[in-house]
Structure 1
Amino acid sequence: MRIAIAGGGLGGLTLARILHQHGVDAVVYEREASRSARPQGGALDLHPESGQQALAEAGLAGRFRSEARPEGEEHRIVDPTGRTLVHHEPQPGSFSGRPEIDRSALRDLLLDSLPGDTVVWRHRLVAATPRPDGGWELTFHGGHRTGCDILIGADGARSVVRSLLTDVQLSYVATLVELNIEDVDRRHPDLAELVGPGNLWCVGVNQILAAQRLGDGSLRVGISLRADDRPIDTYRSKHALLDMFGGWDPRLTALIEAGDSAPTPRPIEAMPIGTRWASRPGITLIGDAAHLMPPAGEGANQAMLDAAELAGRLAANPADPDSAIRTYEEAMFTRTHPIAEMSARVQAMMLSPTAAQDIIRFFTARPAEPAPAD
């Protein structure tokens, strides 16, 4: 059973690791040149029932605890004047909630747990063709080809594998602009104090200015804006962004001014809620390829849980992988549907004219640890 996993993100690597735990080999084809080819983004909070469960099944719970930062759960939400609306402080040193871990640290943890030849770098899948005798012929950028019996798409929002199962169209739901501030304690101690050890959300009308502390001593700043018709290059200018936050407390907009490089914007897209496809032999999807949602803290967690559930099904039924895939897909569709609905509601609430009031009501009625965008 030759298994090919398209995509070496958190979902694809978790899948390869748990399959390896079961004695099942898989090859991960990753488009990047190496593990350090590009920044992996900010931190994420791993939920006990999904991301942490997947790591436990991967035999990596202990290593996760050594890398995670429970203090990163601290979360403060303020209005444009800096007035605190919500403040969540975790129990010091406790791993019982949703401890934060940098994406880069989590990816390295997974990579280090795999045999050295599991991930094949510089292999961007561009096409997959069914073979007459079953399985798939894979074609990569540059012309290299190989075959597999089972193809699993863990290739994210713009999944190539997804197009083999469904022609669903993505919808543009928001714009995210990111900046980084390095060595914040030494260079910008005022901003280090403002953000604290975890996350800060500054919530206005139809826009959010957020910042999170990373384990390397930097801040990742994210600006979320409602979807509009402005060209994406509009958001590459700090001056343009500062104009959008005119009238806000200068202590908050200093997060934009302190960015070490030009802002990096990208559109945020989502799949229609309830997307399904007819099961097809020898192929399936996990993570964003299967259920791309607005960023509300669930994306990476659900991708890792997908991986754990699919790996378990395949390992338990190696003689009939197509049955294992069908069983996985039905359970995944059922599980992710309400989570996608929740993510859409949170996205709409956070980028609304009444966001401040809605957030207070949301977290008062449902006192839970707010999750940073993943």
Structure 2
Amino acid sequence: MTIAIVGAGLGGLALARVLHVHGVEPVVYERDASREARRQGGMLDIHSGQRALREAGLLERFLAIARAEGQDMRLLEPDGTLLLQEDTPDDAPALRPEIDRTDLRNLLLDALPAGTVRWGRAFDHAEDGVLHFADGSTERHDLLVGADGANSRVRPLLTDARPAHLGQNVVELCIPDIDRAHPDLAAMVGRGNYWVLGDGKSLAAQRNGDGCVRIGLSFYNTGEDWFARSGIPFEDPAAARARLIELYDGWDARFTALIAAADDTVVPRSLTALPPGLTWPTNPTITLVGDAAHLMPPVGEGANMALLDGAVLGLALAEHRDDFGAAVAEYEQEMFERTAAAARMSADIQELLMSPDASRRMLEFFQPS
């Protein structure tokens, strides 16, 4: 029986690894030409997802490369007021360690047999048990798993649901080699996450394991067309940085210094999410994992849910290897309940971030009375 996984993200790779551990060899089809084809994003806070890595036999290797100090957090207001500083003791348990998405993906890729991932295979559509790819090639399958992210091409086979704009637009920046190039800014950001919230905006700086600090500039309660109206000339990185500094006028100069220090990587992202609690009638030949199934606001749950999806589905398929329908039904029952709770929590945090008093409400979230 052939299990075809579309997408070599965290959910698809976790599924492939758990299946491999249990003697089932799937095929993963990935549109990118190689693992190095594009940047994989910043740091991930892996907490509940550690259970999936344990099932994949990779937890010890994960803990060896994860950054426990990445749990550090600083929360400030736009005028520079420090609301919260949490520094992780050296002997603290790695309950929510951070890891570069690239490193976690490589950990999963390296744990699969050669040839499991078929690179450069862009999925187009499926019909009558046949996968059709953009290059005109086809492959047969018995079970199709869509692990192809927010804009999944597999999802429409199960549901008409589409991601909706969250009212948040983000500009991503990067300061490479910050310890050498900007030691004062490196000390300010610290070892983990640095958040400034207020005035309908936020600045989130995050130390990565490669010495880069990734910055996310968020603009809340903005529409899908906001980038077109923002006056940010993305084709000219220097001018784009200058315009972003204008948009943060009135903020402490230390924060706009982070924008000025960034390199020419200036990436706009419009954030979307699927409805919390999305379900669909079970189809014994098709299912979804990760963002394809339950795209959430990016507040720390998505990667963990994707890893768990892959592990739970892999275990169900290993147990019911002669009855994919039973495995899919068992997996989806657990996944719908688990991810609905995570999606509702993520939506609540998203609402908090978009509120006028976001910094104080976030402080209450981290330090409840």
- The percentage of counterpart residues that share the same residue type is 50
Superposed CA RMSD: 1.3
Q: Structure 1, unaligned stretches of length 5 or more? A: 367-374
| 3-state secondary structure, aligned to 1:345 | helix
- The 1-side partners of 2:301 and 2:141 are apart by 30
1:81 aligned to which of 54, 79, 83: 79
Conserved 8 A contact 2:46-2:98: yes
Letter in 2 for 1:328: Y
Q: How far, CA to CA, are the matches of 2:287 and 2:161 in structure 1?
A: 15
Contact 1:211 1:220 in 2 (8 A): yes
Post-superposition shift, 1:326?
0.8
Query: Residue 238 of structure 1 contacts residue 262 of structure 1 at CA under 8 Å; is this kept in 2?
Result: no
- Distance of 1:28 and 1:93 partners within structure 2: 39
Listed as ranges, the matches of 1:111-126 within 5 Å are 111-126=109-124
Q: Distance in 1 between matches of 2:366 and 2:231?
A: 33
What is aligned with 1:103?
A: 101
Task: Map 1:178-327 to 2 at 5 A.
Answer: 178-226=172-220, 227-228=222-223, 229-232=225-228, 234-235=231-232, 236=234, 237-327=240-330
Calculate the TM-score normalised by the size of structure 2. Answer: 0.95
Q: Is the 8 A contact 1:154 1:288 kept in 2?
A: yes
Q: Would the aligned equivalents of 2:169 and 2:226 in 1 still touch at CA under 8 Å?
A: no
Q: Is the 8 A contact 2:43 2:208 kept in 1?
A: yes
What are the ranges of 5 or more consecutive residues in structure 2 without an aligned counterpart?
235-239
In 2, Cα distance between the equivalents of 1:181 and 1:357?
A: 28
Give TM-score, length-normalised by structure 1. Answer: 0.93
SS of 2:226's equivalent in the other structure is coil
How many residue pairs get aligned? The number is: 359
Say if 1:70 and 1:93, in contact at 8 Å, map to a contact too.
Answer: no
Write the deviation string for residues 201-258 of structure 1: whole angstroms up to 9, x where unpaired.
0111221101111111111111111232323574432222112110101111111111
Secondary structure of the structure 1 residue equivalent to 2:326? helix
1:33-75 residue CA offsets vs partner (Å, 9 max, x unmatched): 111111111111110xx21110011000111111111011101
Cα-to-partner distance string for 1:334-360 (whole Å, 9 max, x where unaligned): 111121111011111112211022112
- 1:256-289 per-residue CA deviation (whole Å, 9 max, x = no partner) reads 1111114200111000112110011211000100
CA contact (8 A) 2:67 2:98 kept: yes
CA contact 2:196–2:359 (8 Å) conserved in 1: no
Q: Secondary structure at the match of 1:260?
A: coil
CA contact (8 A) 1:176 1:267 kept: yes
Specify the code of the residue in structure 2 equivalent to 1:88. E
Counterpart Cα distance in 1 of 2:53 and 2:317: 18
Secondary structure, counterpart of 1:231 in structure 2: helix
Contact 1:209–1:223 (CA under 8 A) maintained in structure 2: yes
Per-residue deviation, 1:95: 3.5
Taking the aligned partners of 2:187 and 2:158, their CA distance within structure 1 comes to 48
Q: Answer yes or no: is the 8 Å Cα contact 2:27–2:118 preserved in 1.
A: yes
